[in-house]
Structure 1
Amino acid sequence: MAGRSRGPLDRLVQRAAALRWQRAAADAREASLDDLRRDRSAARRMKRHLDAFLHVAEGRLALPAIGTQAFPRPHDTDWAWRPEAWCGPLAVPGIAAAPSKAPLGDEATLFHDCRVSEVTMRQVRNTRAADLAPFGLRLDVFRFDGTYLSLAVDLPPAAALGLQRRHLIRLESIVEMERPIAIFARLNIKHGPNVEQLVRELPLGQDETRIEFDLAYTKLNEKRVEKLWCDLIFEGPQMNQVILRDLTFSRRPRADL
């Protein structure tokens, strides 16, 4: 229950649980395999709850201390969203020598075709006063022998609900990089067996970048929309560091003419 106070009984239960797992850790090397298997299953169940708690708690307590989904939205917005990697701490905050199809959380996946990966992907804490997102995502690329590098972000089911050709989908981001490179955003919309794709180049060189995808230029079957995802494509990424300080999406209907 929200606002429930923690009394002496709660503290006693927490202390007993901590002592129980402290003893289990100390006895793990000598425990029977049956006991070890049983305790491992119990520990995994508890870890899921602890990870869920820490995701919420650290997200609320992180700097900047602003609601994780708080950001400016256009007038008449009917859906808006910030992906989890920019909202709260991930259970696995980073990947070194990231292989292709390496996931970071449940929504972001890195793709490349390097034979030897020298790509690192890591979640970082935002601390600037201007930052609305608690976290950012940093890509470090050293030698790059591939032909493409992209970050795919899966949009939630709510993005597809009621989607029409009269909609505009806006992507806003804050990008920092050591040296200028081109970054393209490709919006993918799966409807039935087909996938509509719209590509825009991010207008970098300013504090905040904003692009819009106009679905009027697609052959979208509004009755069969299944899912959306967005690919961020980095051209010539070698020997560079790119930090995506924020990434947000919003949707609104185009004004009637």
Structure 2
Amino acid sequence: MNKLVGRLFHARVRRRWRRVADAAEQTDLTALRQQRNEARKLSTELDRLIHVADGRLALPKLGSSSFPRPHGTDWAWRPQLWCGPLPRPGLSSAPSESTLGEEVQVFHDCNASEVTLRQLRNKRVQDLAPFGLRLDVFKFDGSFLSLAINLPSDAAVGLGRDHILRAETILEVETQLEIYARLNIQNGPNTEQIIRKLPEQDQTIRVDFDISDTRINEKRIEKIWLDLIFDAPDMNQVILRDLTFARHRRAAL
């Protein structure tokens, strides 16, 4: 009985909003403004429901934190973009400093951006991450293009110079290009940086950043982020099928 009542109620709600939408061109502006505000509030809750439902129903399981980790790992993380569907899945003609999700930001100095970012669904058997990131670059008239991935605050908790921070990605490129990974650790007024060139022939790429190569003040770490820097990226497509981070202590010598 309750299910029947629920179906009837939702059918009535849908009919009401269908009538409102059909009449929107002729609705009085005061009433239309109120209807728009109601619709926005409803849309927010519906988007939240869809986001959670997509996450639970999609395969592989969204939010998955399953990936290989070094022995002795004391912290590990996969960014949300690779875990679950984003409410806004893409950016077209992305301006510099625009963000996709909460953790990924694009930087460039193009006069006219022809850079597109889009979250895509991984469906291959070998993929552990539910989602990937596709970067399309058409005409590129700038001097640099990078993606910044902001690590969560708990990445800095307990981080010391005896740690190694590993970044691992599954990378596909349309045309070979040079890609660099730069780890940035902001501590007080200083930012320590470690840069590594990614191998061009491998799809599964593992990069270790030895924190002993820095002069960080372990008590003043404020922010950690990774820059992926693309050299001469014009007319190319890059797909990051996965991106994970893991932290472990360096073996004692």
Structure-1-length-normalised TM-score: 0.90
Deviation of 1:12 after TM superposition, in Å, equals 4.1
Equivalent residue, structure 1, for 2:13? 17
Relative to 1, partners in 2 of residues 1:142 and 1:31: Cα closer, same or farther, differing over 3 Å? same
Q: What letter corresponds to residue 130 of structure 2 in structure 1?
A: P
> Would the alpha carbon gap of residues 155 and 16 (structure 1) be closer, same or farther in structure 2, given more than 3 Å must change?
farther
Matched, 1:207 2:203: yes
Deviations 1:33-82 (A, max 9, x none): 33322222232222222222222221232233465222122222222111
Contact 2:146 / 2:228 at 8 angstroms: preserved in 1? yes
The residue that corresponds to 2:71 in the other structure is: 75
Q: Partner of 2:140 in structure 1?
A: 144
1:160 and 1:38, CA in 2 relative to 1: closer, same or farther beyond 3 A? Answer: farther
SS at match of 1:222: coil
Alignment check: 8 A CA contact 2:55 2:62 kept: no
Aligned mates of 1:112, 1:221 — CA distance in 2 = 30
Tell me if the contact between 1:101 and 1:109 (Cα under 8 Å) persists in the aligned partners: yes
Read off the aligned partner of 1:17 and give its amino acid letter: V
Q: 1:85 aligned to 2:81?
A: yes
Q: Which amino acid aligns with 2:106?
A: L
Sequence identity, in percent?
56
Q: What is residue 156 of structure 2 aligned with on the other side?
A: 160
**Counterparts of 2:87 and 2:149, CA distance in 1:** 17
What residue in structure 1 maps to residue 213 of structure 2? 217
Count residues in correspondence.
Answer: 252
Runs of 4+ in 1 over 6 A off after TM superposition: none
- Cα pair distance change 1:231/1:34, threshold 3 Å: same
Q: Which runs of no fewer than 5 residues in structure 2 stay unpaired?
A: none
**Aligned-residue CA RMSD (Å):** 2.0
- For residue 86 of structure 1, report the CA deviation from its aligned partner: 1.2
Distance change (3 Å), C-alpha of 1:12 and 1:146: same
Partner of 2:236: 240
| 1:135 pairs with 2:139 | no
- The superposition leaves residues 163-199 of structure 1 with CA deviations (integer Å, 9 ceiling, x where unpaired) of 2222211100000011111111111111122111111
Partner SS, residue 73 of structure 2: coil
Matched residue SS, 1:18: helix
